[in-house]
Structure 1
């Protein structure tokens, strides 16, 4: 199964957009309203199933849809794990050590995953890099059910409008950026006449649509009683600065994507397979 550079970018973007758009709604908010352990276990199950679907993908549509599904599981697991830590360990040295261990494990996992995933892709295939998530998810579910107690829930409501508009708005902006590299950045005419995909080619129209939808998102967050992104948080310089720093840090994911494409497409690495006796 061979994918174009634009399709490869969507294998990553589908996961990232769904994960970011549903992070607060499905993860933090669902854990508060439905029970943190229950939501954490459900997220692990979805993530493991999605990883299996990605590893068995047979087409472009299949793998992109499965990656989006994987983003749903990640949006549930990520905040639920932190909320379980803060609820299990009291404030003080114990919680500090627990959060530090969480951050250390996440950093080691991200670094080790690049090495292990690259080695598996080179020696076997890219598919085992996703299959390996399945037994890990099953083991985590067993451990969570055994060691995490069920916690009380609170009353509240989901901000569906906020989650939907943020996901669609960011998706439209990223779609314009991705397609702008393959077609004209300022293309607005002949839209949808020669396109073979549901969305149309070019960049201007997706950007405009994304800007409109994100404006609706901001308006919703301003008026909603329980928004997923309270705008008052940005009144704090510390929070705003942290958000900007996190946005810049997200560029590392972009670097990973383009670095691998550059090394494979320009330098033609690796130039030999393990089964080959000689390298060029």
Structure 2
């Protein structure tokens, strides 16, 4: 709380409040554990299969189980925040992630590791949604672009540093250090959250009842769709039972939830009537459709260097650093521009830049200069960083404080489903393109085909950006200064 008698110098209207900056820094420390864990695991699957003496198909569940738990948890975060308060829920989520990390490090075989990853996924799913909710609520709708530039720091840092850390750990140490690496972030992040986050304990009278029917429809529906998408590679396509059954079940559950939620209205687990709000709807659609353009291509790039150029996992990670650097550099400028003229022009330019920097990968060979590709990746990173600021920030423009938790869950779920869709589609395209190839030259041709599809998906997203708001909301929400919602000055 602010000390009595100490004058507080007001921030300029176009600057992020220092209290919000402190809140963001506190949340980032904890969120880094989730981001680094996810990106480190992206290079660890092959090594885990060998060290755990099991098949690659079994070890893939280490990632799949985490992803399913993460996605299934996200819809309930708004209810949990209303029931427990943001501070207590954040600390609880960090504690779950800490416990999951310790258990994963102590796992004695692959099934145990898979089970403990579910614990991690539950904690991570809560944190990824709650972080955006707490910060946007604290900012009161002001300077959303700049706020998004701040809270996406972990997302930008993870792909740069995570794979490198993973490569170093696997090269010099035991796989258990992949999970022990999370511990300092959890402990320091928990202490900072206890000290810095504002107390917002809800009263017993305002605690909502859990929409049990909605939870039983929505959570497994999302998980089933994502599971079906993750199984798309290596099968006969969508007609395969392994893919078609979970996808059909997931779509049926989601349709059932839609009918249920329309009847329940504001009492539903996620109030889907919020999708009447055009900025949220357009951002959600773009997050779904941009998966193939943004996330799918990010999977192809390290595979190209490993399978065509013979690089190690660490070598491929180092070659991808320029893209991460570009992502970091573009965030701040994109946030400032978005606050001045809106998300629409930022998104259009960002997707155009990303498209232009993806096209060269459609013509890669087994001998294309690494220096040239790294320069192109830097430009692509600039577009990626700006695109995510526009899409994530645009979702919150014009919403009230009470609508932000549901909007945060909707946009995060869309991001997860979109990423899974994009990855699955491009993996299938790549597999078909390289099915009968054995030499680096022919493999490179197959990768070129997949990259051209990624560029096409990117180009298709550009006109959809015109659905985003053209200018930032000029009427920010009043900040909640009641005793339950007061911002803490620490």
The worse-fitting range, judged by mean Cα deviation, of 61-70 and 30-39 is 61-70
Of 210, 213, 232, 1:158 maps to 210
SS at the partner of 2:269? coil
The answer as to 2:75 corresponding to 1:24 is yes
Asked if 1:210 is matched to 2:250, the reply is yes
Counterpart in 2 of 1:10? 61
1:146 to 183, 195, 200: 195
1:168-214 CA distance string (max 9 Å, x none):
223333444455555555778xxxxxxxxxxxx63333333233222
Cα RMSD for the two superposed structures: 3.4
Preserved CA contact (<8 Å) 1:17 1:167? no
- Check 1:271–1:38 CA distance in 2 against 1; reply closer, same or farther (3 A cut): closer
1:233 and 2:274 correspond: yes
Shift in Å, 1:242: 0.9
Which is further off, 5-14 or 43-52? 5-14
Q: Which has the larger radius of gyration?
A: 2
Structure 2, unpaired ranges of 5+:
1-51, 315-490
- SS of 1:157's partner is coil
CA offset digits 1:140-190 (Å, max 9, x no partner): 1111111223114243222333333223223333444455555555778xx
Alignment of 1:189-268 (within 5 A): 202-225=242-265, 226-251=267-292
- Preserved contact between residue 9 and residue 178 of structure 1 (Cα < 8 Å): no
Are residues 59 and 110 of structure 1, via their aligned partners in 2, closer, same or farther at CA, if it must alter by over 3 Å?
Answer: same
Deviates more, 1:122-131 or 1:2-11: 2-11
Contact 1:24–1:75, Cα closer than 8 Å, also in 2? no
Task: Provide the rounded CA distance (Å) in 2 between the counterparts of 1:254 and 1:126.
Answer: 26
Per the normalisation by structure 1, the TM-score is 0.75
Task: Say whether the 8 Å CA contact 2:72–2:223 is kept in structure 1.
Answer: no
Match in the other structure for 1:194: none
When the two structures are superposed, what TM-score results if normalisation uses the length of structure 2? 0.46
1: CA distance, partners of 2:146 / 2:248:
46
1:58-73 counterparts in 2 under 5 A? 58-73=108-123
Q: Is the 8 A contact 1:180 1:203 kept in 2?
A: yes
Q: State the Cα distance separating 1:239 from its structure 2 match.
A: 1.9
